[in-house]
Amino acid sequence: MPSPVAAAESYQTAGSLHEQFYRQAQLTPDRVAVSDGAGRQLTYAELDQLSSKLAAELRLKGLDVELCGIIYMERCIEYVVAYIAILKAGGAYLPMDLSYPDSLIESVLSDAEPRAVLTKPDLLQRLPESARSLAWVFSDNWQQELNELRCDTSCVPVSIDLDALAFIVYSSGTTGKPKGIGMPHRGAVFSYHWRHVTYPYDESNGPEREACNVFFVWEMLRPLMKGQCLYVVPDDVIYDPPKLLEYMRKNCITRMLFTPSLLETVLDSEAERVQKACASLKQIWLCGEVVTTSLLERCQSLLPSTRVINLYSISECHDVAARDLTDYLKRIQRRPEERRKFCPVGWLLPGVQVVILDEALNPQPVGAAGEIYVAGPTLAKGYVKRPDLNRSKFIQAPKALGSQAGERLYRTGDWGYLLSDSSLEICGRCDSMVKIRGYSVEVQAIEVALLDSGLVNACVVLVKGGEGEDKFLVAYVVPSNGDLTKRQLRSALKRKLPFYMIPSYFVFLADLPVSAIGKLDKASLPPFDKAQESLDCSFLPQTATEKSLAAIWMATLDIKEIDIQESFFDYGGHSLLATKLLSKVNEQLGCQLSVKELFQYPTVQEMARLIDAAAARGTGTADETPEAEARTFDLKTEVANHDQPQASDLDIQLRAFWRNPHFNKSRWSRGRVLLTGATGFLGAFLLRDLLRLTETQVFCLVRETGSGDPGGLQRRLRSTLEQFLILRPKGQEDDQTKDLAAAFEARVTVIRGDLSLVKFGLSEDDYAFLSSEIDVVIHAGAYVNLIYPYTALYGPNVLGTQNVILFASAVRVKPVHYVSTDAVFPNGLADCREDADTSVHAQELADGYSQTKWVAEQLLMKARARGMPVIVYRLGNQAGDRANAAWNPQDLTLLMLQGVLRSGQAPRLNWRLEFTPVDFTSEVIVRAMAQLSLHAGKIFHLVNPQPISFDLLCDWLSVSGYTLRRVDYADWLVELRQLAEACQPIASLLRLLEELAPSGGSQYFGQLSTFDSRQLRAALPSLGLESGYPAI
């Protein structure tokens, strides 16, 4: 798009708005100036003469410079005459919408103190008595009446300068006292001049026909200043798509401005009808709302010959920036990686200044986000009789800006940033972040995800519930097809948004309501009542068991109604609620369901079938059924489904990657590390050793917990380090922990995100930043649970790894250090080698943890085969560190030892224990990270090569003074059940044992595989660990 500087320099000599119209009327007196599209029209000479006579009448009523006249009528030809007449009289026009309630009319009249009110006979009685005395009424014979006036028109048009008041626009007054915005001629003259120069009218087929209704007071004079024909779209046509399309077809409209909401409703019409109506349409201008790329693509697919321009314009500062979206679409079609969810607003108009400031009014550099402030020739004079608003919204430029933006700035309330090419990007509103149940929720991000799903054409998300109440999200959506279900929407959002950002309710609409100025009208959305929200009948409980379960689920989840085909976890259920739910279900329905069954049968409908089948067999337990067998997964198919295609530029990226160490030898020890799983046991020690052994900056991806505390994630991470005695509470530190604490504060950045979500659930900007800045990834994040099935662990373990691989190849190659598990081998094997082909064991893995970690590792192996630098660390059991013996409290080995000591009994088990100190594991990984070229592509087994027998360990405990009685495994379980009610660790151990080895200890403990670690042993000297593997 050209950006002629001439537009910024020559507008000042163009004259005021009405002076430019007057000059044009002299040049083209016989051309049609304005038409209503139904047969009524005025030529330029007629419009000039009628408006001059009316202007002279208004002068007699006292209208003058800096005073205003009100226009109170529908969009029509008379409106245009009134508009120009007020300007010619030297005054400012004030449009008063017909939808204004009486209270707002009186407020506007009181504030504006008009000298005249121009209206029609049928509207006169709606005005208060004080306004009627000021009225000039357009009767049915108004043209004849004006022509017969014997008034002196030599006094008009009044000559004024560009800083004189041109118009006043009032807000609708839906929130608080309405505000009137006083705009001078300068802003409109500047903007119109720029548009005339940059997008000139094409008269190759005669004057253009520009239709106007939306933003009427801003738009209608622009074509009249260049001799084109203005078509006034009637108010009863503009928001009726069939009528509007017929109007456009009949009158061969060539240009029109829409809001995106209005264009969306028009494009929802039958495609052939849209194309016929818009056959002559050369340009569509979009303004008033953000433009989604999906809307642009819809528009251009239907109307490929129509140019689409996006205009960023604000009432208080007129036009700010614009972008030719037709060229933008061609660009992203060539470069799909540059496609964004929202279209850019474009380049600043020459002469308009935009500065980005933070909350302390400090200027932000190019590319950094902040609030958008506007300066330059387009600013309003201010708000009418609102000194409070003027002080808060029109501010003095901070001294830090110097003279770059003048003395006065307008605070837009929009959040965005400037790009290096001087174009402007808008991220959303500064006030679009809300708190729901302690979680920070970005409402616009939900709308973006809905639109990006391709399932909806338009949407708006509202927060319901007042402060102090239980807030929830409601999404009003216009489906892209009639078969869309709420479950499909939830499923699509689950891949992109954390559970707390998924709306609780979806309301399907044929279209979204728009206001009188064409913007989305949230106040006119159907009222939402949670109690009245109903589901499709097929989703309601039908059988007695379904009804009983539904009541329990609703009470547990605290919801009013339930879809029997919706997952417990999609409703926000978690492990604690799962325990509570199963306790109620088992008690009230006489079942013996476990958490594993909840994951296998996570809906009311499926759980009811399971319970009914058990009842038919005469048992209360859930035996294996054909339905359960159908849930087994073909793990190789899972790998194929989640393997990502090679990036087109991967080869050049890899060449650049391996050249880097030649120029930056300290890259791995001083670069930037993305660490996943930092709040876990191993992750905490990895973070410790990154701070202790390297000079890296560490970015930790941490999930939101809903604490409502802005610094909560950082404190949560520090709390984890304190839990494992890596750091000490403030005031209790020694010299070593003081140094680590200082490094933690200086070198650790917590990133709120979720491994299982697309792009980790980050904003486009944050993801792009990390993609370009991170040098290496240590992927230790996973959900470790020996009981849960594949589906329960799939998100963090499989999707999380898939997302890490995508991230590692985005923008530039990043090596991945992946923490795997020895559980990718089935039980019962001996001397499993590091270079063994684990793909042959796909169907031998029985538990969800082994299965998901196997799939994740295979995805890394495929990435490695394509050249990605990958190191895999297969871990056995991780014991406490050697300095403080800080163990993972959920570790099975630790729980077993606690069970032995608390019960005073040792079960007879053929169990050989292996465990590796966690600090040894973390040191190996961090040291290997700094020596990538030596170890890239390798797999290391961190499994202790010298396990000890459980019997020997119990003998050690006895020698150490513990009294232990040897018992059978089944008798030991009986003792544990008696202890479980009073001891949480014993209860946790009992749940594990009843799942892993319910009928005998040898069932699980006697079949563990053994491992060969020769590659690790060979690498230890190069890692500075010459002492070798630590003995137990």
Question: End-to-end alpha-carbon separation of the chain, Å?
Answer: 71
Q: For 471-503, give the DSSP string.
A: -EEEEEEEESSTT--HHHHHHHHHTTS-GGGS-
**Rounded to 5 degrees, what are φ and ψ at 374?**
-120, 140
For residue 245, the model assigns a pLDDT of 95
Taking a C-beta distance cutoff of 8 angstroms, is the pair 781, 800 a contact?
yes
Residues of the domain holding 63: 18-186
462: in domain = yes
- Answer yes or no: do 689 and 814 share one domain: yes
1030: in domain = no
- Answer yes or no: do 50 and 94 share one domain: yes
192: in domain = no
- Answer yes or no: do 516 and 483 share one domain: yes
Count other C-beta atoms under 10 Å from residue 297's C-beta: 15
List the structure tokens of 882. 């050697």
For residue 667, the model assigns a pLDDT of 63
- Answer yes or no: do 612 and 652 share one domain: no
299: in domain = no
Angle, nearest 10°, between helix axes 969-980 and 892-903?
A: 90
From 601, 629, 657, give the residue that closes a domain.
Answer: 629
237: in domain = no
Is 184 strand, coil or helix? strand
- Answer yes or no: do 903 and 846 share one domain: no
Q: What is the C-alpha separation between 89 and 57, in angstroms, rounded?
A: 9
Region for residue 887 given its phi and psi (left: phi exceeds 0; alpha: psi -120 to 50; beta: otherwise)? beta
For residue 1018, the model assigns a pLDDT of 93
Region for residue 124 given its phi and psi (left: phi exceeds 0; alpha: psi -120 to 50; beta: otherwise)? alpha
List the structure tokens of 596. 């594993």
Count other C-beta atoms under 10 Å from residue 968's C-beta: 13
Q: What is the C-alpha separation between 313 and 320, in angstroms, rounded?
A: 6
- Answer yes or no: do 712 and 811 share one domain: yes
- Answer yes or no: do 750 and 849 share one domain: yes
Taking a C-beta distance cutoff of 8 angstroms, is the pair 673, 698 a contact?
yes
From 578, 598, 629, give the residue that closes a domain.
Answer: 629
Q: 972 Cβ partners below 8 Å, 6+ apart?
A: 899, 903, 905, 906, 907
Q: What is the C-alpha separation between 810 and 106, in angstroms, rounded?
A: 59
Q: What is the C-alpha separation between 371 and 366, in angstroms, rounded?
A: 13
285: in domain = no
For residue 437, the model assigns a pLDDT of 59
CATH of the domain at 571: 1.10.1200.10
Count other C-beta atoms under 10 Å from residue 663's C-beta: 7
- Exposed/middle/buried for 459, CB within 10 Å: 0-12, 13-18, 19+? buried
- Answer yes or no: do 852 and 802 share one domain: yes
885: in domain = no
pTM of the prediction? 0.69
For residue 952, the model assigns a pLDDT of 93
Region for residue 404 given its phi and psi (left: phi exceeds 0; alpha: psi -120 to 50; beta: otherwise)? alpha
Taking a C-beta distance cutoff of 8 angstroms, is the pair 465, 305 a contact?
no
* Residue 20: its H or E element: helix 17-27
392: in domain = yes
pLDDT digits 0-9 by tens, 23-32: 999 999 999 9
- Answer yes or no: do 582 and 483 share one domain: no
C-alpha distances in Å from residue 854, one per residue of 419, 682, 801, 808, 938: 43, 19, 11, 20, 17
Region for residue 1024 given its phi and psi (left: phi exceeds 0; alpha: psi -120 to 50; beta: otherwise)? left
C-alpha distances in Å from residue 138, one per residue of 42, 118, 124: 15, 7, 10
CATH of the domain at 831: 3.40.50.720
Residues forming a β-bridge with 429: 414
Count of structural domains within the chain:
6
List the structure tokens of 752. 């709120």
C-alpha distances in Å from residue 1029, one per residue of 825, 879, 915, 916, 942: 22, 14, 11, 9, 9
List the structure tokens of 711. 């610094």
List the structure tokens of 986. 């014993």
- Answer yes or no: do 988 and 1018 share one domain: no
For residue 680, the model assigns a pLDDT of 94
- Answer yes or no: do 771 and 812 share one domain: yes
CATH of the domain at 152: 3.40.50.12780
From 186, 213, 244, give the residue that closes a domain.
Answer: 186
Q: What is the C-alpha separation between 364 and 765, in angstroms, rounded?
A: 15
Q: 278 Cβ partners below 8 Å, 6+ apart?
A: 245, 248, 249, 253, 302, 303, 306
Q: What is the C-alpha separation between 562 and 546, in angstroms, rounded?
A: 11
- Answer yes or no: do 741 and 872 share one domain: yes
Report residues of the chain scoring pLDDT below 70.
1-9, 171-177, 428, 431-433, 435-440, 466-470, 516-518, 530-539, 560-561, 570, 572, 574-576, 618-632, 646-652, 655-668, 705-711, 1003, 1032
Q: What is the C-alpha separation between 688 and 157, in angstroms, rounded?
A: 78
